[in-house]
A = this chain, B = another copy of it.
Amino acid sequence: MKKPLNQTCYKFFSCLSNPTRIATIEMLLEKPMSVNEIAFKLGEEQSMISHNLKPLIECNFITSNREGKKRVYSINKETINNLLKIVKNHAEKYCPKSGKCIIKEN
């Protein structure tokens, strides 16, 4: 593409534009977990979660740490919390009816 495209933004946001990955992030906000734990709690397959963890790691939204046999994933709280704050703010302003967005015509 010959657009003045900001690659960073694209990678950043597309990493977050997936229900499984958002759910995973929500899980990890509670506490660090292994792939199997996330998979079990979300009722999904381990390999599926594993595939979805990859872009999250690549974008540094989560980090991983080996603990014995397990590999434990933790959230990058700084970025994620700041992001969620903005989303929350935006949603409160524009989607006040429990997630139903308001669009004003002009």
Contacts and interface: CB of A to CB of B under 8 A. Distances in A.
Interface in A38-85: 42-44, 57-60, 63-66, 79, 82-84
Given A8-B91, A91-B8, A3 B19 contact: yes
Interface string A92-106: 011100010111101
Q: How many of these chains are in the complex?
A: 2
Interface range for A = 35 or more
Contacts of A31: none
Nearest to A90: B79
A5 B42 CA distance: 10
B10 A19 contact: yes
B8 A13 contact: no
A86 B94 contact: no
